[in-house]
């Protein structure tokens, strides 16, 4: 039994080495590696919306912010689903105290109140455990 296990490990090592030596194909991704996803992806949309709510809860601004652009979106399958997203979050005309629905809030027009943050977000979800953890959420002007 031990000899079979060693043989299997050796075979896997040889196959992995051959694949690395051959280089990766630009249109094929390795299992477990991040790959680009559509900005219309339902899981991505939920992650981005959760990030906006988190941003608004941490912000002392009187106005709500919501996503205004997604520059990069990737998904990686690793003991769950890991999302890596670069996006813009912009100030809306809706005030926090009004408990407005973000989907109905328009962005601030160009001018004194217009503000946009560039954010990087990494979220790890484990759907079968109903768990979601924000690994990284950094924003700058």
Q: What pLDDT does 22 receive?
A: 45
pTM reported for the whole predicted model:
0.75
* Residue 77 pLDDT > 70: yes
Query: Within a domain: residue 50?
Result: yes
Domain total of the chain: 1
Query: Within a domain: residue 61?
Result: yes
Query: Within a domain: residue 6?
Result: no
* Residue 131 pLDDT > 60: yes
Q: What pLDDT does 90 receive?
A: 98
Query: Within a domain: residue 77?
Result: yes
Q: What pLDDT does 121 receive?
A: 96
Condensed to tens digits (0 to 9), the pLDDT of residues 14-63 reads 445 545 444 444 445 677 899 999 999 999 999 999 999 999 999 999 99
Reported as a pLDDT band with limits 50, 70 and 90, residue 97 is: very high
Q: What pLDDT does 133 receive?
A: 94
Residues 6+ away with beta carbon under 8 Å from 101: none
The bridge status of strand 131-140 relative to strand 63-77 is: unpaired
CATH number of domain containing 94: 3.10.450.10
Q: Name the residue range of residue 89's domain.
A: 30-140
Question: How many CA atoms are closer than 13 Å to the CA of 135, on its beta-carbon side?
Answer: 11
């Amino acid at each position: 039994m031990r000899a079979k296990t060693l043989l299997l490990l050796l075979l896997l090592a040889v196959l992995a080495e051959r694949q690395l030596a051959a280089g990766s194909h630009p249109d094929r991704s390795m299992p477990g590696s991040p790959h680009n996803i559509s900005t219309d992806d339902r899981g991505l949309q939920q992650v981005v919306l959760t990030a906006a709510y988190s941003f608004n809860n941490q912000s002392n601004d009187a106005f709500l912010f919501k996503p205004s652009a997604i520059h990069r979106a990737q998904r990686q399958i690793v003991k769950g689903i890991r999302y890596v997203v670069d996006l813009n979050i912009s100030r809306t005309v809706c005030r926090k105290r009004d408990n407005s629905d973000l989907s109905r809030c328009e962005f601030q027009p160009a001018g004194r109140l217009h503000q946009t943050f560039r954010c990087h977000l990494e979220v790890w979800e484990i759907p079968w455990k109903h768990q979601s953890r924000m690994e990284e959420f950094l924003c700058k002007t």
